[in-house]
């Protein structure tokens, strides 16, 4: 079993976070989100977004034994509830590293940070067809809302889960 370390991301991680973000989206959403949409994901745009995100709040990264970023997670005040509860904004891990507890460790870091910020609950938005939604159910997520969203010209069902902290 390889050693995976979790730490706060630094600005120099933005490039690799963008790479992992795009790769994990393509792995996770293949067959769910239109292929054309996934193929058009821009590394430069993702890198720019992550550079900005890294200045706005904590982002946690998972590093393999070679100190390469293999996953990341971040959260903060819920974008839809006027800051009354926390939200997991993103948790992505390369497929080759899933199922080994690393995703749970990243998740726990974000939840601990949200608790420290004073939140008593956290929401997570996940596509209904994404098998990762069961991860959130396994760790206490309760379905509280469903809505249709558009990605790549397709209407997709999105679930919102609430997790008590």
pLDDT of residue 2: 65
Residue 88 confidence (pLDDT): 98
Average pLDDT, the chain: 96
Distances (CA, A) of 99 to 25, 47, 82: 17, 27, 34
| Range 65-78 average pLDDT | 97
Give the tens place of pLDDT for each residue, 119-139: 999 999 999 999 999 999 999
Closest of 60, 59, 62, 61 to residue 4, by C-alpha: 62
157 band by pLDDT with thresholds 50, 70 and 90 = very high
Q: Give the C-alpha separation, 99 to 130, whole Å.
A: 15
Tell me: pLDDT of 1 over 60.
no
Is there a contact between 136 and 143 (Cβ–Cβ < 8 Å)? no
Token pair of 21, please?
């973000």
CATH architecture of 5-164: 3-Layer(aba) Sandwich (3.40)
Q: Give percent of the chain with pLDDT exceeding 70.
A: 98
For the cut 80, the answer to whether the pLDDT of residue 81 exceeds it is no
pLDDT band at 82 (very low <50, low <70, confident <90, very high): confident
Q: Which residue did the predictor score with more confidence, 84 or 26?
A: 26
Helices 14-29, 43-56: axis angle to 10 degrees equals 120
Domain boundaries, the chain: 5-164
pTM tops 0.75, yes or no:
yes
| Mean pLDDT on 39-67 | 97
């Amino acid at each position: 079993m390889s050693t995976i370390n979790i730490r706060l991301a630094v600005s120099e991680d933005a490039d690799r976070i963008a790479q992992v973000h795009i790769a994990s989206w393509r792995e996770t959403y293949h067959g769910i989100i239109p292929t054309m949409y996934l193929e058009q994901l821009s590394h430069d745009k993702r890198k720019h977004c992550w550079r900005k995100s890294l200045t706005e709040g904590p982002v946690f990264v998972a590093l393999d034994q070679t100190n390469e970023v293999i996953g990341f997670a971040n959260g903060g005040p819920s974008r839809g509830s006027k800051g009354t509860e926390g939200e997991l904004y993103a948790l992505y891990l390369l497929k080759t590293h899933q199922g080994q507890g690393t995703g749970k460790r990243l998740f726990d870091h974000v939840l601990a940070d949200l608790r420290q910020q004073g939140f008593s609950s956290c929401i997570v938005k996940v596509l209904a067809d994404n098998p990762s939604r069961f991860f959130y159910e396994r760790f206490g997520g309760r379905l509280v809302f469903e809505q249709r969203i558009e990605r790549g010209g397709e209407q997709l069902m999105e679930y919102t889960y609430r997790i008590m902290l």
